[in-house]
Structures are given as structure tokens and as C-alpha cells.
Amino acid sequence: MNREPAKSFQDLIVWPKAHQFVLNIYNFSSNFPKSEMYGLTSQLRRAAFSILANIAEGFDILPTLPLREQ
């Protein structure tokens, strides 16, 4: 399958899947006990959100990295 190069991180195949994963984590963790709101719940949500942040950051960094000869 031929695809045009992504112009934005949102054009990547992985982006909607990662976004849905984050939404699922937020929904799933909303059922955690209130005592875990600032512990496990917060840590899990931050970890899930960092997936999106890393995709966006990586997309912006990759075009500026020099290509290595192989």
C-alpha cells in the first residue's frame, strides 16, 4: 500500500490508536478507588499520555536528525 509521507504526527497510523488507548486508560482508571486518585490513577494516566507526547515529539525531531550511512 502506497501512502504519502505524514505531514503531521496526527497523520501517522499509530496516532489514532494511541489516542484511543489514552481514552481507554482514562475511562478504565475512572473506576479505581478514590484513594488511588493521586497514586496509581495519576501515574497510569501520565504514562498513557506520555505515549502521545513522545509520538509528537519524535515526529518533530526525526526530520532534523542527520542520516547515517549504512
Question: Apex CA 31: angle with CA 30 and CA 37, to 5°?
Answer: 60
Per-residue pLDDT of the chain (70 residues; tens, 9 = 90+): 677 888 888 999 999 999 999 999 999 999 999 999 999 999 999 999 999 999 999 888 766 656 555 4
Burial environment of residue 55 by CB neighbours within 10 A (0 to 12, 13 to 18, 19 or more): middle
The residues spanned by each domain of the chain are: 10-61
| pTM (predicted TM-score) | 0.76
User: Where are the alpha helices (H) located in 1-70, listed in sequence order?
Assistant: 14-29, 40-61
Q: Phi, psi (5° rounding) for residue 3?
A: -125, 150
